[in-house]
Amino acid sequence: MKRLTVFIFFFSFLIFTYQAQAFDRKGFSPTAPFSVISTFSADSPKQNQVAIDTGFEFTSDPDIKRLNLNVSYGLTDKVEIITNLPYNLSYHNSLSDNGAEDLNFGFKHRIIDETTYLPAFAYMLYVSGDIGKEAFSTEGGIGGGLIVTKKLGPVKAHGNLIYFRPEKEGLKETWNINFGSELNVGYNSKILLEIIGRKAIDKNKIDLVEWRLGYRVKITDFSYTTVATGFDIKNRTPDIRFMFGVSIILPGEKRKLKIVEDSD
């Protein structure tokens, strides 16, 4: 626990000592509800389940309006195939400055299930394909990550370390460190909390640090709605972020009915 505290303190200090700005790419992202907001969970859809997540994102300074489509498939109960495509509807409030980012495709494999004392552990690998607008694209690349998940009472905590190497000349290797948690506040609702840190893709500096707060509601047996907002830390960019998403899981979970027999 002491080592974790020291690491978080060092990470926070490192973040506040740098400032940089670059285009805010979405990149490879998790599929809700098997995630916090942008933080991956070691949980996955069950075998043969399909999760479809459509998200809308609005940021200020710079002004970006973005649509993101995520699709996940449970190859097994422990292996999840993930693909996502972010599309920028407008950039700097210009509807003519729009276009897709890279198409991302990968998988996540949970190799250790959670126990009473040990967290669940998963890794992921992915590739990005250059199909988008040049200004928003990295011309493809490869990446991977490590994921840890542990439930502590009503709270489920997650940690991610994610790496990406772009192919575009002039861009550099980048990484994300994400910490997220889900707090059950009702039978079908959760409060979501994250801190996101990201190294710039064009400079050897930190270009994004955000606190994110959200709320997820299970609407039906197979559909969820997520609302979240992000706040910059120490004059980062974007200054504020608003996110809204709707996700469905097919086939949905079937409710188990308990039959009580009359003893008379």
CATH number of the structural domain spanning residue 59: 2.40.160.40
The whole domain housing 7 covers 2-250
Provide the pLDDT confidence category of residue 213 given band limits of 50, 70 and 90.
very high
CA-CA distance, 77 to 42, in Å (whole number)?
Answer: 11
Q: Would you say 16 and 206 are in contact if contact means Cβ atoms under 8 Å apart?
A: no
Domain annotation covers residue 16: yes
Beta partners for residue 184, in sequence order: 190
Given CA atoms 143, 63, 37, 51 in this order, what sign does their dihedral have?
A: negative
Domain annotation covers residue 264: no
CA-CA distance, 253 to 4, in Å (whole number)?
Answer: 36
Q: Would you say 148 and 155 are in contact if contact means Cβ atoms under 8 Å apart?
A: no
What does the DSSP assignment read for 23-68?
A: -----S-PPTTSBSSSSB-S--PPTT-EEEEEEEEEEETTTEEEEE
Domain annotation covers residue 260: no
Query: How many domains is the chain partitioned into structurally?
Result: 1
> Quick one: average pLDDT of 3-8?
43
DSSP 257: P
Domain annotation covers residue 211: yes
pLDDT in tens, 226-246: 999 999 886 656 678 999 999
Query: Quick one: pLDDT at residue 236?
Result: 57
CA-CA distance, 215 to 193, in Å (whole number)?
Answer: 9
Domain annotation covers residue 263: no
> Quick one: average pLDDT of 57-78?
92
Given CA atoms 252, 69, 56, 146 in this order, what sign does their dihedral have?
A: positive
Domain annotation covers residue 234: yes
The amino acid sitting at 10 is F
Distances (CA, A) of 228 to 2, 15, 56, 240: 31, 23, 10, 11
Domain annotation covers residue 205: yes
Query: Quick one: pLDDT at residue 18?
Result: 38
> Quick one: average pLDDT of 44-59?
96
pLDDT in tens, 114-125: 999 999 999 999
Domain annotation covers residue 28: yes
Query: Quick one: pLDDT at residue 95?
Result: 66
pLDDT in tens, 100-115: 999 999 999 999 999 9
